[in-house]
Structures are given as structure tokens and as C-alpha cells.
Chain A
Amino acid sequence: MSTDTPDASADDAPTRAELAARVDELEDALSEATADDDGKKMSIIATKGTLDMAYPPLILASTAAAFGYEVTVFHTFWGLDILHEEHSKNLKLSSVGNPNMPVPNAIAALPGMDRVTTSMMEKKIDDNDTATIEELLETSLDMGVEFQACQMTIELMDYDEDDFFDGVTTGVGAATAIQDMAEADIQLLV
């Protein structure tokens, strides 16, 4: 509390109308801020770039958008390839280290085998009318999903900001992801 207050000229004191206007202004700001908080948010961190692991973040992102969530997907390390215009069309699947696939590791490790398993998976995706990665990306972008490409890993992987699809946000880092996660109702690391 300031002792100056009583000395201030009466002319400086806000009028009743000014105070009322100020209260209205604050009430508007409050209701605007509260309305924003009502929106549901989801934050996904996508770290993998194999064909199979590119699906979960995109399926969940587009579906959450359909539920009315404001969705952010933060792509880092190999997850960047999902947003990379060229690499995104050529995501690979390897059966090395995946004992559920019908190819023994010793054979899966042979040159060219990743191409075989990738073709097998692509055929299954096609036969099953499963959406392609590109379709899911486009759909998600149309629905307002925000895709972010981690700046540190863009540089680490020697990518260029122009390598990514239109609409992808670059120039973001871990703090942006943390801020999104802190505000989100659902947070996922894929």
C-alpha cells in the first residue's frame, strides 16, 4: 500500500465510468482465457521413422482432431522422416529385431531384406485399404493438426527446413514440446 495515494490529486482518480469500463474489459479477458482452457488438447512426441511406427502418431492425431482436440505432434530424431517430403514416401520396415515377423534375424540382416519386408507391408496396407502415410498426413493437416519438426534434430540429421511438407512448423525445440505437454490433456511418446 502506498502512502502517496492520499496525496494524489482527486483529478487523477478514475471515474466510476472508467472503473466500470475497466471491470468489463477484465471480465471479457477472463472469459476469453477460460474459454481457451475448455478446449481439449493432445500432445504427441513422434521419435520413430519406420513404416510401422509412423502410423500410430498419425492415426491418433487425426482421430483426436475428429474428437475436437487441438493436436500437436512434435517430431524428433527418426520421427522427422514422417514429415520429410522425400523420405516420407519411402519409409522402411525391417524385421531385424522383430521376432514377431516371419523372417529369422540371420536372414533379415542380409542386404536387400528390408526392401522385401517393406514391400510385403506396403502390399498389405494396399490390400487392406489402409490409409497411406501421405493420406494420413494430409488429412491431419486439413483437420488442423500442428506438426512440428525439432530444430536440433533437423540440424543433427543434416536436413533442411525446406525438406518438410508445407504446413510443418520448424524452429521449435524441447521447451515448446514441454509447454504443449503441460497444457495437454493427453501426452504420448511414440
Chain B
Amino acid sequence: MSAEFDITETLDVKGASCPMPVVKTKSAADELAEGDVLEVLSTDSGSMSDIEGWAAGTGGVELLDQQADGDVYKHYVRKTE
């Protein structure tokens, strides 16, 4: 785990498959304040590419890190506005 940021909220979407990890990440991000960091836990291997693409194509969020931890893919998204 990176020490560069503190996790504000964790969203567990383990088991859910496309498009739910991205859709639920978006809904969870909407609830956060600027600077907050959302941790997303997914078992969908497509989420690595999908959440990266979503963060790049969406205003107001920044992808800080992605890690594959066994069967769980972890994503860290910061709200920037």
C-alpha cells in the first residue's frame, strides 16, 4: 500500500462484472469531496483497463494507483474538484 495518500472511502464491488464496477465507482465518486480518495475493490479483471479509461475520460477525478492483489483488483481514485 502506498503511503502517499489516505483512503477516505472503500467501495467493494467484488463479484460484479462490467459495467457495474465503473458505474458504481462513478456514483461513489460523486458523493466525495475534493481531495478525498476512493478505494475500489473489484474481482473483474477488465476493471484494470476500464477504471483507467474512465478516470482518463472523466473530469474531476484522478487515478492514483492500481494494484492486482491475488484475485482482487484495487483502484485508488482521487476527487480533484
Contact = CB atoms under 8 A, between A and B. Distances in A.
Interface string B3-26: 000000000000111111011011
Contacts of A59: 18-19
B17 A129 contact: yes
Contacts of A65: 23, 26
Contact of A67 (B15, B17, B27, B57): B57
Candidate in B16, B20, B22 with the most chain A CB atoms within 10 angstroms: B20
A62 interface: yes
Nearest to A40: B57
B77 to A, nearest CB: 12
A60 B22 CA distance: 11
| Size class of the contact patch on chain B | 10 to 19
Interface in B15-70: 15-20, 22-23, 25-27, 54, 57-59
A67 B54 contact: yes
A120 B22 CA distance: 27
A129 B54 contact: no
Contacts of B18: 59
A177 interface: no
Given A128-B17, A130-B17, A62 B58 contact: no
Interface string A124-156: 000011110000100100110000000000000
Contacts of A66: 19, 22-23, 25-27, 54, 58
B32 to A, nearest CB: 15
A63 interface: yes
Interface string A54-82: 00000100110111100000000000000
B59 A68 contact: yes
A142 B20 CA distance: 13
Contacts of B58: 66-68
A48 B16 CA distance: 25
15 contacts: A63-B19, A63-B54, A66-B22, A66-B25, A66-B58, A68-B59, A129-B16, A129-B17, A131-B16, A131-B17, A131-B19, A131-B20, A142-B27, A143-B26, A143-B27
Interface of A: 59, 62-63, 65-68, 128-131, 136, 139, 142-143
